[in-house]
Amino acid sequence: MDEDAKISQFTSITGASADRAKFFLSSSGGDVETAIATFFESGDVGADEATSTAETGGPTTESAGE
């Protein structure tokens, strides 16, 4: 499987950005299953979502519910 396919698989399963996929794939020596497991074990779930929301001016944790 080429790198683009691995990134696509990682992002489709985790919902993370391509940059996060590249980081975890690099850290796992290119093994998609290990990269995905490490992503979920690291607690990184939602980090991209929070960053994206803050960057777009959407609600943040601090302003939610005001």
pLDDT, one tens digit per residue, over 18-52 is 999 999 999 999 999 999 999 999 988 766 554 44
pLDDT of residue 65: 55
- Domain of 37, CATH number, reads 1.10.8
Give the confidence band of 60 by pLDDT, cuts at 50, 70, 90.
very low
pLDDT of residue 21: 97
Q: Residue 16 falls within a domain, yes or no?
A: yes
Which domain, by its residues, includes 31?
3-45
Q: Residue 58 falls within a domain, yes or no?
A: no
Q: Residue 37 falls within a domain, yes or no?
A: yes
Q: Residue 55 falls within a domain, yes or no?
A: no
In whole angstroms, what is the distance from residue 39 CA to residue 12 CA? Answer: 13
What is the Cα gyration radius of the chain? 14
pTM, 2 dp = 0.67
Q: How many domains does the chain have?
A: 1
Q: Residue 56 falls within a domain, yes or no?
A: no
In whole angstroms, what is the distance from residue 25 CA to residue 36 CA? Answer: 8
Q: Residue 52 falls within a domain, yes or no?
A: no
